[in-house]
Chains A and B, each alone.
Chain A
Amino acid sequence: MNRLERFSTVFLIAGFISFLVAFLFLGIWPATMTSKTDLSADMPRKVPAEFQVHYKSVEAYQDGLRRGRDLYVREACWHCHSQYVRPVSGESLMYGNVSTPGEYENELNRPQLFGTRRVGPDLTREAGKRTNDWHFVHLYNPKAVEPASIMPGYTWYFDESTNPPTPTADAVALVAYLQNLGAWVKDVRRSQWDMNAVVLPPTPEE
């Protein structure tokens, strides 16, 4: 038993080997299984109709998505909104298709934003569930569209010198990012737009 209590044993076997075995077996191996090297290919190739007024080119739209993601990270949105749909608890009825590894292999998911807590609903399939205007109002003052909401208002992404306040480029980028979540699933955007087309909430412009 003495050997187990020496510097060299603890240093090498407990310190390095136990960690490395787990790291290779349960870290690198499964991580490599689901990874691919070229992450640039999966950015959207065209600007959706409702964003053409904000973004004139695909490059500008892609930069907008990147900026939106940065803001999503900066405000730690991912602490309260998860981004994966599990195959249990009726989540596919609540949120849409169950998540698969392939759909996360792109630039906007590095680092991944799976999240571990849902204070608010999952956003994996948020694309097109609501209108851009709904999102702007909701970001500015969540209680305006959902009185019981506990989400904070992100007023600093709006120009408050106008009445009503107008979204800044940052707010547009954030909404572009949200409206892209799950848009890669075929027809998800279209069917959800149709579903919501009937009841549009009031917009700040009105």
Chain B
Amino acid sequence: MSQTSAVLEPPSLVPYGVIKAHLTVATALIIIVVLAGLAYSLQFIDLYPFKGIAFLSPGRVRIIHTQGVAYGWLANAFFAIVYWMIPKLTGKPLLSMKLAWFSFWFYNALVISAVVMILAGYAQALEWGETPTLLDPLISVAVVLIVVNVVTSIWRGRFEPYYVTVWYVLAALIWTPLVYVMGNFLPEYVYAGSGGATITSMYIHDLVGLFVTPIGTGMVYYLLPILLRKPIFSHSLSLIGFWGLAFFYPMNSAHHYLYSPIPMWAQYASIIASVGVHVVVYTVVFNIIATMSGEWKKVAGNVPLMFIAVGAISYLVTCIQCAIQVTLTVQQIIHFTDWVVGHSHLVLFGTFSFWTFAWIYYMVPRLLNTPIYSDSLSNWHFWLSFVGIVVMDIDLLAAGVVQGYMWKNLSPFIESVIASKPFWWVRTLSGVAIFAGSMCFLINLVMTWKNRRRFPEGVVVASGAEVAV
């Protein structure tokens, strides 16, 4: 990591301006998507506030929630973090600063158009790909532009062999456009029925497995050694984790439609590959925890480190869950239930959003040359999010088991709805906690921005003081 020493960083290496822009959008969107999720959950307990308004119908708001998490909040934050990490790790700037700005405006114009069009009723019938068909080609172009911009920096880079973060980001940047084009065009125009479901299941899993997971893991491999001021525990484990991911994750696909009309051998293959993912997860989580071990006192008071630690535990729990729920026996009960909803919240919020929060708390003081406004707000953000996600996950897993067994014992469907209502109340309350946490986060960042100082005496919190505020 000595390569990234602040002293050596030439001006204009890292595009701090674009990073700030992406982070601003990401921060605004986390509030909106959490709010959308919270509003949607109110439908389940008969308290939905926008009854009878077509463009705020719960079905459409749910799409804003899920799509917003993936393509709004996480994607924007990830672009910012990738723009930050990669030039520092390769020693070469992006291909073009103008291109970075252009893709920022282009991409986010598409995000806003997608929100408007989905609410207006132009959603596409693809899970995690509900962005309207009209926008899909444009989004593909925007993603390719960002990829070309970053990959050029890695290609020209001076520090080969590269650090683990660079492998993860590079592979993710190749996978993302491939996955996006596959998932949004093949089921829409080529394969109907179970053929389409085969491709869609691959897309659903690859979006998490080949876009969110590798960038998220790369982020932690970068940030953890910096925060702890010690190297990652084992380089070999990093290698096994990365190549395991590249080998197993793309084959997980059909486990989203087990017992469906997709050919059974493909379902078996995906189950085996899903169990293989454990090799990946255990190496990564072990590496993170082993790096932290002996440093728990540092972790305890440090919000970014707490977010990383809890994120790592969530990742482990998620994946243990995955191994259990992917088996055909368990699928009989938990498929189609709230169990799966709980699982996806633990992945996208409990793990990857937590790691992203850690990164934002790390970047913002350096971007603004200003310490975070309030430690107590950061702590409130952490604890509210933590309690929220733990309660939500346990609650939804339990709800899923109840629903699954009620269906299996052939109760009338409505009985399972009635039985689920207490769980849905708890889910909404946990959502309120997460929303309150997100508001602490927003207020904290806005106040930090208001208090920003230029070049404070004797304090250089970050390199890149050329940042124009």
Interface assignment of B188: CB less than 8 Å from any CB of chain A: yes
Identify A26's interface contact among B125, B253, B335, CB under 8 A. Answer: B253
Instruction: Please provide the chain A residues from 4 to 34 with a CB less than 8 Å away from any CB of chain B in the complex.
Output: 4-7, 10-11, 13-16, 18-19, 21-23, 25-27, 29-34
- Chain A contacts of B195 at CB under 8 A? 30-35
A27:B239 contact, CB within 8 angstroms: no
Interface assignment of A86: CB less than 8 Å from any CB of chain B: yes
Q: A31-B199, A76-B123, A101-B261 are in contact. Are A5 and B193 (CB under 8 A)?
A: no
A30:B44 contact, CB within 8 angstroms: no
Identify B250's interface contact among A22, A78, A113, A146, CB under 8 A. Answer: A22
Instruction: Please provide the chain B residues from 248 to 283 with a CB less than 8 Å away from any CB of chain A in the complex.
Output: 250-251, 253-254, 256-257, 259-263, 265-266, 269-270, 273
The residue on B at minimum CB distance from A114 is B197
- Chain A contacts of B265 at CB under 8 A? 30
Interface assignment of B200: CB less than 8 Å from any CB of chain A: yes
A18:B250 contact, CB within 8 angstroms: yes
Instruction: Please provide the chain A residues from 68 to 105 with a CB less than 8 Å away from any CB of chain B in the complex.
Output: 73-80, 82, 84, 86-91, 93-94, 99-101, 103-105
Interface assignment of A191: CB less than 8 Å from any CB of chain B: no
Q: A27-B198, A75-B60, A112-B192 are in contact. Are A121 and B413 (CB under 8 A)?
A: yes
- Chain B contacts of A109 at CB under 8 A? 192-193, 196
Interface assignment of B461: CB less than 8 Å from any CB of chain A: no
Report the bound CA distance from A155 to B44 in whole Å: 18
- Chain A contacts of B199 at CB under 8 A? 27, 31
A4:B414 contact, CB within 8 angstroms: no
Instruction: Please provide the chain B residues from 156 to 171 with a CB less than 8 Å away from any CB of chain A in the complex.
Output: 157, 160-162, 166-167, 170-171
B413 to chain A, nearest CB (A): 4
A34 to chain B, nearest CB (A): 5
Interface residues on B, range: 35 or more
Report the bound CA distance from A156 to B414 in whole Å: 25
Q: A15-B175, A73-B123 are in contact. Are A150 and B46 (CB under 8 A)?
A: yes
A7:B154 contact, CB within 8 angstroms: yes
B410:A84 contact, CB within 8 angstroms: no
B125:A78 contact, CB within 8 angstroms: yes
Report the bound CA distance from A113 to B46 in whole Å: 26
Interface size on A, residues (CB 8 A): 76
A30:B263 contact, CB within 8 angstroms: yes
B407:A34 contact, CB within 8 angstroms: no
Interface assignment of B341: CB less than 8 Å from any CB of chain A: yes
Q: How many A-B contacts are there with CB distance less than 8 Å? A: 251
Q: Bits for B354-396, please: 1 = Cβ < 8 Å to A, else 0.
A: 0000000000000000000000000000000000000000000
B242:A154 contact, CB within 8 angstroms: no
- Chain A contacts of B54 at CB under 8 A? 156
Instruction: Please provide the chain B residues from 76 to 93 with a CB less than 8 Å away from any CB of chain A in the complex.
Output: none
B241 to chain A, nearest CB (A): 12
Report the bound CA distance from A24 to B317 in whole Å: 31
B262:A30 contact, CB within 8 angstroms: yes
A19:B51 contact, CB within 8 angstroms: no
Interface assignment of B293: CB less than 8 Å from any CB of chain A: no
- Chain B contacts of A120 at CB under 8 A? 413, 417
A106:B192 contact, CB within 8 angstroms: yes
Task: Name 17 interchain pairs, CB-CB below 8 A, sorted by A.
Answer: A5-B167, A10-B170, A14-B167, A26-B198, A27-B199, A30-B198, A34-B193, A35-B193, A75-B57, A89-B404, A101-B193, A109-B196, A111-B125, A111-B187, A114-B257, A117-B341, A150-B45
Which residues in A have some Cβ–Cβ distance to B below 8 Å?
1-2, 4-7, 10-11, 13-16, 18-19, 21-23, 25-27, 29-35, 39, 73-80, 82, 84, 86-91, 93-94, 99-101, 103-107, 109-121, 146, 148-150, 152-156
